[in-house]
Amino acid sequence: MLLIDCPCCGLRPETEFRCGGQAHVARPEKPVDVGDQDWSEYLFVRANPRGVHAERWIHQHGCGRWFNALRDTVSDRFVETYPMGGKPKSTTTEARA
């Protein structure tokens, strides 16, 4: 069971959280203006890296807030967590080190 650092609540057990998949996939401002190809990419295409991955998590059974996290998909190490709308402090290269 992972230990996840909620930006509001601190370190809490994984069972309180839910993962929402890849982070930073913004809904287009005006979806009706988006072409079929781009729209299907937005809907269905997600990265699945081996290594550091930016993900969305929600502290479902805690403060109820969504946040972002950089997690290494190989080691399960959390590089950092940061609020929705924010940017990670570490660059991806640092995170991989």
Maximum CA pair distance of the chain? 43
Contact stretch for Zn ion (CB under 5 A) within 7-15, 29-37, 48-56, 82-90: 7-15
What is the per-residue DSSP string for 58-76?
E-TTTT--EEEEEEETTT-
Q: Which residues bind other proteins (CB under 8 A)?
A: 1-3, 8-9, 12-13, 15-16, 20, 26-27, 30-32, 34, 36, 39-40, 43, 56, 58, 60-66, 75-76, 84-85
Which residues is 67 bridged to in the sheet? 57, 83
Candidate residues 19, 25, 34, 63; the one interacting with Zn ion per rule CB under 5 A: 63
